[in-house]
Amino acid sequence: MTNTLLFIVLPYLAVFACVIGSIYRTRKEPMSYSSLSSQFLENHGLMWGSLPWHLGILLILLAHILAFVCPGFWQTLTSNQVLLLSIEAAGFGLSILCLVGLVILAIRRLTSPRIQAVTTPMDLFVIALLLAQVALGAAMAVHCKWGSAWCSGTTTPYLWSLLLFQPDLSTIEDLPLIAKSHIVCAWLFILIIPFSRLIHLFAVPLEYLFRPPQNVVWNNSRKLKEECSAFVAEDTRRHFLKAALGIGFGAFLLSVGTLNKVFNFFFGPRLSKKEETELMEVKLAHLESTVDQRKLELERQASNYIMVAALSELNQSSGKYFIDYQMQPAIAFKGKDGLPLLISAKCTHLGCTVGNKVDEQGRILCPCHVSYFNIETGQPNAEAPAKAPLGHLSWVIMDERGSILASRNLEGKTACSVNQQALANGKVYIAKSQEDKT
């Protein structure tokens, strides 16, 4: 329950809030959308805080994103021992760098009166959360080291399962507490982006790299009359580009998954000749065995009666297994009245074959999940996982000549035409006609 809440509900909530909140804030509250730099008020501490923190966290974030978006590539990287060690060393180093920066930033924020003039409670919460998150990350590098390698089998599939709307917690639910806390903190981080200064994450001015140095805006329509249509077209194109970029990225993410499957289908691991032969042989053997079984089945179906045992062979304490017309196991006992007692051996719980030894209370045991069935009534014991009773089967007793000496139909009605002596030499059969009725 807690797991579901923290690892399924929280992520979706966080991402939803982040996307909607960020779009709303950047569109409707542009005045509040700023990096909120405090370098102007305090300069020295900022250098030692902000530079290490931002350098470290940017590289760490990029590595996290890479590991998530290109899991295959990342796994290839981390399979190389030297690279893996480098990644681990760099990751730990950068997290230490981040921690140093954050601690300096925190101290600065808590001690400088000027900075306190521009500090909100949310700022303090952000710093606390980031401190916790980076400390957890660094601790993971020590206590569950090589996370860059094991993430490909644990957190990456988890994140992809979330992305594909088939949440699967199985890969992460057994992770150590420290790793799970790291994940929860990450979702919290995403959750508070639109409600804190963290929104500046989206303000990274990448377009600066590509724009011309000067920026001239005309408010006058005379200049714009002809240019306006071009501007609108440009704007439409910009919107189109943005949409295309978004869709493209989504498609990219999806295709990575799909292509992975396709790639494996065509170029994935192949069976060797030997393995293929073995596999075919196993299949053949399986087919052959089913042929026999099928033959037997047909043969049985052809005969009107199937012999279970001679009445004299049956006893009260240990049943004799046989197969009925439906090819299901059943057990034959001798009842207290000296007549046969035929009971299905297929457990009504999950279909295991029930044991044939009768205990002191006249019960037989299904060993799979410990259900005791009373052979007289077929009823399971109260605590048993099986709830329905085992069914009894009908039977007939015939002598050598094939004349019916006694029979019991499905309703449990017994017809007995001869004495016990004659019956003792008879053989117990199950009849096709009776079976067909079921």
Least distance (Å) between residue 436 CB and another protein: 31
- What are the φ and ψ backbone dihedral angles of 355, each rounded to 5 degrees? -65, 165
Among the candidate windows 206-214, 240-248, 327-335, 407-415, which touches another protein by CB under 8 A? 206-214
- Between CA 147 and CA 88 the distance in angstroms is 8
Burial of 353 (0-12, 13-18, 19+ CB in 10 A): middle
Residue type, position 191, single letter: L
Applying CB under 8 A, which of residues 15, 17, 63, 90 lies at the interface with another protein?
90
* Complex with another protein: residue 137 or 426, whichever CB lies closer: 137
Name residues contacting another protein, limited to 226-265 (CB under 8 A): 228, 231-232, 235, 264
Q: Does 144 contact another protein by CB under 8 A? A: yes
- State the chain's maximal CA–CA distance in angstroms: 123
Name residues contacting another protein, limited to 11-30 (CB under 8 A): 29-30
143 Cβ neighbours under 8 A, 6+ residues apart: 176, 178
Q: Is the Cβ–Cβ distance between 74 and 159 less than 8 Å?
A: no
Burial of 406 (0-12, 13-18, 19+ CB in 10 A): buried
Q: Does 298 contact another protein by CB under 8 A? A: no
Name residues contacting another protein, limited to 159-198 (CB under 8 A): 168, 170-171, 173-176, 179, 195-197
Q: Does 92 contact another protein by CB under 8 A? A: yes
| Nearest by Cα to 245 from 209, 208, 217, 206 | 206
- Site size toward another protein, by CB under 8 A: 113
* Complex with another protein: residue 85 or 307, whichever CB lies closer: 85
Name residues contacting another protein, limited to 375-434 (CB under 8 A): none
Applying CB under 8 A, which of residues 11, 67, 74, 91 lies at the interface with another protein?
91
Name residues contacting another protein, limited to 265-284 (CB under 8 A): 269
356 Cβ neighbours under 8 A, 6+ residues apart: 318, 319, 320, 321, 331, 345, 364
400 secondary structure, DSSP code: T
* Complex with another protein: residue 20 or 307, whichever CB lies closer: 20
Q: Which x/- pattern, by CB under 8 A, does the window 94-133 give for another protein?
A: xxxx--x------------xx-xxx-x-x-----------
* Complex with another protein: residue 142 or 298, whichever CB lies closer: 142
Q: Does 69 contact another protein by CB under 8 A? A: no
Q: Does 34 contact another protein by CB under 8 A? A: yes
| Residue whose token pair is 């295959």 | 72
Q: Does 200 contact another protein by CB under 8 A? A: yes
* Complex with another protein: residue 116 or 312, whichever CB lies closer: 116
DSSP helix/strand/coil, 2: helix
DSSP helix/strand/coil, 354: coil
* Complex with another protein: residue 225 or 273, whichever CB lies closer: 225
Q: Does 37 contact another protein by CB under 8 A? A: yes
Phi-psi map region of 28: left, alpha, beta (phi>0 left; psi -120 to 50 alpha): alpha
Least distance (Å) between residue 45 CB and another protein: 10
| Pairing mode of beta strands 371-374, 363-366 | antiparallel
Among the candidate windows 81-89, 297-305, 395-403, 423-431, which touches another protein by CB under 8 A? 81-89
Q: Does 78 contact another protein by CB under 8 A? A: yes
Among the candidate windows 152-160, 277-285, 306-314, 423-431, which touches another protein by CB under 8 A? 152-160
DSSP helix/strand/coil, 396: strand
CB-CB neighbours of 193 under 10 Å = 22
Q: Does 50 contact another protein by CB under 8 A? A: yes
- Between CA 394 and CA 251 the distance in angstroms is 64
Q: Which two tokens stand for residue 437?
A: 């009725």
* Complex with another protein: residue 134 or 430, whichever CB lies closer: 134
Applying CB under 8 A, which of residues 5, 262, 285, 370 lies at the interface with another protein?
370
